[in-house]
Structure 1
């Protein structure tokens, strides 16, 4: 028997409630996912820092590195012949006015001009996975091996063609919470005569003092910082003018500035369309700054970047 239509011959109203329930469920799921992404990427912290930056006075900005004012003038320049070598870190040498980078996959040290041109390549014999380099003083450099958990203090001059780890003093950096994500960054603080080391994940800082001979003395110390709200720590740098620390994070696509008290001052995103970058820096692994305030970065596999202030 056929069910008759209501009076007037009109069709019964379409029930929309199930659709609306599905739509609200999708909205709720999207909100949860969005919050999770924002939390993991620390967008909430970046938002607070962005708001804080808006209230910094011109004098306060001049007293810092002030990363928002930097724009790339060399963007993703390829280091020739190093496509398979994985650029791992970068450091500025004020004596030679050049840069030194380490390659992690096939261990060697490379000297670069400030324009990113290769001057020489020096094999690193005896290193397993060099991930950090810092120029000290008197021709000395610190090279961190993430796999072996060591730092080696080497000497490099104009005649150096290769380095052998057995020829130089080596220091044990000790175990890490995550042995596969261990000591990744290193930087030299000339004013305090000490090295600063950074663990990759979870991000953590340590210091180790140097004596007058350039060798390390005492023990490695924890440098407390509650401001490392980054997914990982890829590299460290020190601004020679202000003493502020630059903390690079490949996973967060970000460079963070901390003052000498460890407080956040400014940041720069490494995404395409910002700070003069055409594309996102694929995996930023090294950062350095010279006494003129120029900022340098290297990224895996073999890309070079330079940033200057407007």
Structure 2
């Protein structure tokens, strides 16, 4: 058999390769960076950061002032709850303890202020509890994102189980995104109302109450153009100032609003900031006590405590 010789293809016959000029790559990179910054609301954070630098000492003292907080307990684990997904957190001033709700396998967990587990209370009949808030006299408000309900339960030292059908339940109505419904809930004692947070798009509502298991009227939307967050994971009302903090897992951010709904301060949840060794993976709950200490939980089973630097 004769040898077959393979001849090289002349360069003129090869298809031309398209090559973007350097300035085009720079432009694409700039567009990508701007899109990412816009999605994360970094431009809004930059403006707020600049305004924080010029705030008076009196305003700082009259607010929560999140930039001064530092982690003193960083990513402490709840043992044996790796698959349960901590979803929210609330502080009980009567018992000086915390309650967190587990969304994947529904139950309530009582914690010390150091993040140690005191007891677990099964939530029988709940489907996907995502929000919890202490109200008054042992009452806890719990939202179920899948059922679109708000229940007000009674918990005392002898409670070992809670049954959905045994307590008043209120229909929260449909959400724009049925899979991203009501996650945040907080009791506002000054205004005698519950504050509710819809996850995406972020929105705030209020529902009047006398602190008992009865709610008055229907929930009312609290219009705001200050919710510069990718999602809203949780809410807490500061008992000292009446200010509200809004937690966003997707934005890795905690945002403070005053009683008029204006942005006051913020805290990033990224590693290397505010005493955090690593980024909080998915922050889902926040609470404040009467001394101003800040607590957080993150999926899957992590606990954080922040204190204000003096």
TM-score, scaled relative to structure 1: 0.93
CA contact (8 A) 1:98 1:112 kept: yes
Deviations 1:139-174 (A, max 9, x none): 101000000000000000000000001000000000
Specify the SS of the correspondent of 1:28: helix
Name the CA distance, whole Å, in 2 between partners of 1:190 and 1:120: 27
Residue 114 of structure 1 corresponds to 113
Q: Which runs of 4+ in 1 moved over 4 A?
A: 18-21
For these two proteins, the number of residue pairs brought into alignment is 293
Please give the secondary structure, in 1, of the residue aligned with 2:287: strand
Alignment map for 1:105-254 (pairs within 5 Å): 105-211=104-210, 213-254=212-253
Deviation sequence 1:194-231 (CA, Å, 0-9, x none): 10100000000001011363421111100111100100
Partner Cα distance (1:192, 1:25) in 2: 55
Give the Cα separation in 1 of the matches to 2:20 and 2:75.
48
Listed one character per residue, the Cα deviations across residues 243-301 of structure 1 (whole Å, up to 9, x for unaligned) are 00000000000000000000000000000000000000000000000000000000000
Q: Tell me if structure 2 keeps the 8 A contact 1:137–1:214.
A: no
State the 1:20 CA deviation.
Answer: 10
What's the counterpart of residue 85 of structure 2?
A: 86
1:206 and 1:293 map into 2 onto residues whose CA distance is: 24
How far apart in 2 are the matches of 1:212 and 1:95?
A: 15
Gaps of 5+ in 2: 1-16
Q: Is the 8 A contact 1:83 1:302 kept in 2?
A: yes
Q: 2:11: which partner in 1?
A: none
Q: Return the alpha-carbon distance in structure 1 between the equivalents of residues 211 and 64 of structure 2.
A: 29
Deviation at 1:106, TM superposition (A): 0.3
Question: What is the alpha-carbon distance in structure 2 between the residues aligned to residue 70 and residue 211 of structure 1?
Answer: 33
Aligned mates of 2:212, 2:66 — CA distance in 1: 34
Provide closer, same or farther for how the CA distance between residues 212 and 64 of structure 1 changes in structure 2, counting only shifts above 3 A: closer
CA distance in 2, matches of 1:197, 1:39: 26
**Partner of 2:266: helix, strand, or coil?**
strand
Aligned to 1:64: 63
RMSD, aligned CA: 1.3
Give how far 1:138 is off. Answer: 1.0
Taking a change above 3 Å as real, the CA distance of residues 77 and 212 of structure 1, as seen in their structure-2 partners, is closer
